[in-house]
Amino acid sequence: MIIILLGSPGSGKGTQSRVLSAKYGFTHLATGDVFRAEMSAKTPLGLKAAEYVRVGRLVPDSVVTEMLASRLDLNGGDYLLDGFPRNLEQAEALSRILSPRHLGVDLAIFLNLSRDEALRRLTSRRTCSKCGEAYNISTRPPKMAGRCDACGADLIQREDDREETAQKRMMIFDDLTQPLIAYYKAAGAFCEINAAQSPERVSEDMSSALLSLRVRS
Ligand code: AMP
């Protein structure tokens, strides 16, 4: 099963993906997390991605698509794709990767959040430098200031979460990623969730969408 998660930066894709992957056994494939890990390990892929990620631009389609294809095992397994596809070209590339195996996207879930709220969340987000767990300094602070509850590592503000870069990422979402909503709606595998609700309510709504899919299949 292939589930994709669409939503602006700050809409909760990463947080929700972690919860649902743990609950239902999906493999969580987050392209942004992969790039950040490769960047801190200074691999050739990381060095290539860094110049785009740091300024909030999209990594070229060929680079991200090749990276994704190399990490998808199409012989089995259920995937939750978080942050891919990000534009129509990537959506079409994904379909080209899946179709030879008679596979397709089973469900696209759109986490809908206003731009103001997404920006507010992004600029107050702090992220674990080791495990990637996300916190919010006003609504979900860690138990000990500056330390991850899960693994104890330092929390950092992502360079691309600073206001100016976050604004640019929001514009890229509006221009390039938003059209995917119509694309997956037309494909008939789409559901929209109000991401302004509490994280628990969002998880419940996502669980219901996934369970109804499993019932149908
Ligand atoms: P994210 O963690 O999903 O917000 O992604 C962080 C950054 O990684 C983005 O601003 C892009 O620079 C890069 N990135 C992640 N996913 C993609 C993608 N599908 N296509 C191009 N760039 C991506």
**Which residue CA neighbors atom 8 of ligand 1 most closely?**
32
What separation in Å is there between the alpha carbon of 32 and the centre of ligand 1? 5
pLDDT at 217: 57
| Chain center to CA of 142 | 22
Return the amino acid letter for 161: D
pLDDT at 89: 98
Task: Select from 18, 36, 37 the least CA-distant residue to 27.
Answer: 18
Counting as low any pLDDT under 50, the low residues of the chain are none
Find out whether the peptide bond into 85 is cis, omega within 30 degrees of 0.
yes
pLDDT at 76: 78
pLDDT at 216: 58
Tell me which of 18, 36, 126, 169 is the catalytic residue: 169
DSSP structure class, residue 165: H
For 54, the 3-state DSSP assignment is: coil
Lining ligand 1 with CB less than 6 A are 9, 31-32, 35, 52-53, 56-59, 64, 83-84, 86, 90, 160, 169
Annotation says 162 is catalytic = no
pLDDT at 132: 87
HSE-up of residue 10 (Cα within 13 Å, Cβ side): 28
For 127, the 3-state DSSP assignment is: strand
Annotation says 13 is catalytic = yes
Q: How many residues does the chain have?
A: 217
- Ligand 1 atom with the shortest distance to the CA of 90: 19
- Ligand 1 atom with the shortest distance to the CA of 160: 10
- Ligand 1 atom with the shortest distance to the CA of 60: 21
pLDDT at 125: 94
pLDDT at 121: 95
Q: What would the two tokens of residue 12 be?
A: 């909760």
Annotation says 96 is catalytic = no
What separation in Å is there between the alpha carbon of 122 and the centre of ligand 1? 14
Task: Select from 93, 167, 180 the least CA-distant residue to 123.
Answer: 167
Mutate to test the pocket of ligand 1, among 13, 33, 51, 59 (most ligand atoms within 8 A of CB): 59
